[in-house]
Protein backbone atom coordinates (compact mmCIF):
# COMPACT_ATOMS: atom_id res chain seq x y z
CA UNK A 1 0.00 0.00 0.00
CA UNK A 2 2.65 2.52 1.05
CA UNK A 3 4.79 1.62 -1.95
CA UNK A 4 1.86 2.32 -4.26
CA UNK A 5 1.37 5.72 -2.63
CA UNK A 6 5.03 6.61 -3.12
CA UNK A 7 4.84 5.48 -6.75
CA UNK A 8 1.72 7.61 -7.26
CA UNK A 9 3.53 10.61 -5.74
CA UNK A 10 6.44 10.10 -8.15
CA UNK A 11 4.03 10.16 -11.08
CA UNK A 12 2.20 13.22 -9.70
CA UNK A 13 5.50 15.11 -9.34
CA UNK A 14 6.50 14.37 -12.93
CA UNK A 15 3.05 15.32 -14.20
CA UNK A 16 3.30 18.66 -12.39
CA UNK A 17 6.75 19.29 -13.87
CA UNK A 18 5.39 18.60 -17.35
CA UNK A 19 2.29 20.75 -16.80
CA UNK A 20 4.36 23.68 -15.52
CA UNK A 21 7.03 23.38 -18.23
CA UNK A 22 9.79 22.48 -15.77
CA UNK A 23 12.83 20.40 -16.68
CA UNK A 24 12.12 16.70 -17.15
CA UNK A 25 15.19 15.58 -19.08
CA UNK A 26 18.36 17.08 -17.59
CA UNK A 27 19.25 15.01 -14.54
CA UNK A 28 22.39 17.07 -13.93
CA UNK A 29 20.19 20.11 -13.42
CA UNK A 30 17.82 18.19 -11.15
CA UNK A 31 20.69 17.01 -8.96
CA UNK A 32 21.96 20.58 -8.68
CA UNK A 33 18.49 21.79 -7.70
CA UNK A 34 18.21 18.95 -5.17
CA UNK A 35 21.52 20.03 -3.68
CA UNK A 36 20.13 23.56 -3.31
CA UNK A 37 17.06 22.22 -1.52
CA UNK A 38 19.25 20.26 0.90
CA UNK A 39 21.16 23.46 1.66
CA UNK A 40 17.89 25.33 2.27
CA UNK A 41 16.67 22.59 4.63
CA UNK A 42 19.94 22.64 6.52
CA UNK A 43 19.73 26.41 6.86
CA UNK A 44 16.13 26.16 8.11
CA UNK A 45 17.11 23.53 10.67
CA UNK A 46 20.24 25.42 11.77
CA UNK A 47 18.33 28.66 12.24
CA UNK A 48 15.28 26.90 13.76
CA UNK A 49 12.99 28.32 11.08
CA UNK A 50 9.37 27.21 11.10
CA UNK A 51 9.54 26.07 7.46
CA UNK A 52 12.00 23.23 8.13
CA UNK A 53 9.34 20.59 7.35
CA UNK A 54 8.46 22.32 4.10
CA UNK A 55 12.13 22.32 3.11
CA UNK A 56 12.35 18.59 3.83
CA UNK A 57 9.29 18.12 1.61
CA UNK A 58 11.08 20.02 -1.18
CA UNK A 59 13.99 17.57 -0.91
CA UNK A 60 11.63 14.61 -1.14
CA UNK A 61 9.83 16.15 -4.12
CA UNK A 62 13.06 16.69 -6.05
CA UNK A 63 14.33 13.21 -5.15
CA UNK A 64 11.08 11.53 -6.19
CA UNK A 65 11.03 13.61 -9.37
CA UNK A 66 14.54 12.44 -10.23
CA UNK A 67 13.47 8.86 -9.57
CA UNK A 68 10.46 9.18 -11.88
CA UNK A 69 12.47 10.84 -14.64
CA UNK A 70 15.04 8.03 -14.35
CA UNK A 71 12.26 5.40 -14.23
CA UNK A 72 13.30 4.14 -10.78
CA UNK A 73 10.64 2.81 -8.41
CA UNK A 74 12.10 4.55 -5.38
CA UNK A 75 9.77 2.93 -2.85
CA UNK A 76 10.86 -0.55 -3.92
CA UNK A 77 14.52 0.53 -3.91
CA UNK A 78 14.19 1.99 -0.40
CA UNK A 79 12.67 -1.22 0.97
CA UNK A 80 15.35 -3.32 -0.76
CA UNK A 81 18.13 -1.13 0.64
CA UNK A 82 16.64 -1.15 4.16
CA UNK A 83 16.68 -4.95 4.07
CA UNK A 84 20.40 -4.77 3.29
CA UNK A 85 21.43 -2.12 5.82
CA UNK A 86 19.39 -3.57 8.69
CA UNK A 87 21.64 -6.63 8.56
CA UNK A 88 24.90 -4.77 8.05
CA UNK A 89 27.54 -4.56 10.76
CA UNK A 90 29.77 -1.58 11.50
CA UNK A 91 33.04 -1.06 13.31
CA UNK A 92 33.89 2.07 15.27
CA UNK A 93 37.12 3.87 14.46
CA UNK A 94 39.30 5.63 17.02
CA UNK A 95 37.80 8.97 15.96
CA UNK A 96 34.27 7.69 16.67
CA UNK A 97 33.25 7.23 13.03
CA UNK A 98 31.51 4.02 12.06
CA UNK A 99 32.37 2.10 8.90
CA UNK A 100 30.50 -0.92 7.57
CA UNK A 101 32.17 -4.28 7.78
CA UNK A 102 31.22 -7.55 6.16
CA UNK A 103 32.51 -11.00 7.09
CA UNK A 104 34.65 -11.22 3.97
CA UNK A 105 35.30 -7.49 3.70
CA UNK A 106 38.89 -6.69 2.83
CA UNK A 107 38.19 -2.97 3.12
CA UNK A 108 38.57 -2.99 6.89
CA UNK A 109 41.41 -4.48 8.83
CA UNK A 110 39.91 -5.26 12.24
CA UNK A 111 43.15 -6.45 13.82
CA UNK A 112 45.43 -3.66 12.69
CA UNK A 113 46.18 -0.76 15.02
CA UNK A 114 45.23 1.69 12.25
CA UNK A 115 42.53 0.19 9.99
CA UNK A 116 42.64 0.97 6.29
CA UNK A 117 39.54 1.70 4.25
CA UNK A 118 38.90 1.61 0.55
CA UNK A 119 37.22 4.51 -1.22
CA UNK A 120 34.17 2.27 -1.69
CA UNK A 121 33.92 1.57 2.05
CA UNK A 122 34.10 5.26 2.88
CA UNK A 123 31.55 6.09 0.16
CA UNK A 124 29.18 3.42 1.45
CA UNK A 125 29.47 4.81 4.96
CA UNK A 126 28.37 8.24 3.76
CA UNK A 127 25.60 6.80 1.60
CA UNK A 128 24.24 4.25 4.08
CA UNK A 129 25.26 5.88 7.32
CA UNK A 130 25.98 4.09 10.55
CA UNK A 131 23.74 1.28 11.73
Contact 75, 2 (CB under 8 A): yes
Handedness of CA 14, 15, 20, 21 (dihedral sign): positive
pTM: 0.72
pLDDT band at 116 (very low <50, low <70, confident <90, very high): low
pLDDT of residue 14: 98
pLDDT tens by residue, 48-94: 999 999 999 999 999 999 999 999 999 999 999 999 999 999 999 99
According to DSSP, residue 89 is labeled: E
Q: Are the C-beta atoms of residues 34 and 59 closer than 8 Å to each other?
A: yes
Give the mean pLDDT of 122-126: 60
Distance CA 32, CA 127 (A): 18
Q: What is the pLDDT of residues 6-40, one digit of tens each?
A: 999 999 999 999 999 999 999 999 999 999 999 99
Amino acid sequence: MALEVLNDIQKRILKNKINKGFNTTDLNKEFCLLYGEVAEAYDAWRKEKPDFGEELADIAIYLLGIAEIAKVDLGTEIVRKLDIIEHREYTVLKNGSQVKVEADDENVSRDAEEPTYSTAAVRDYFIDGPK
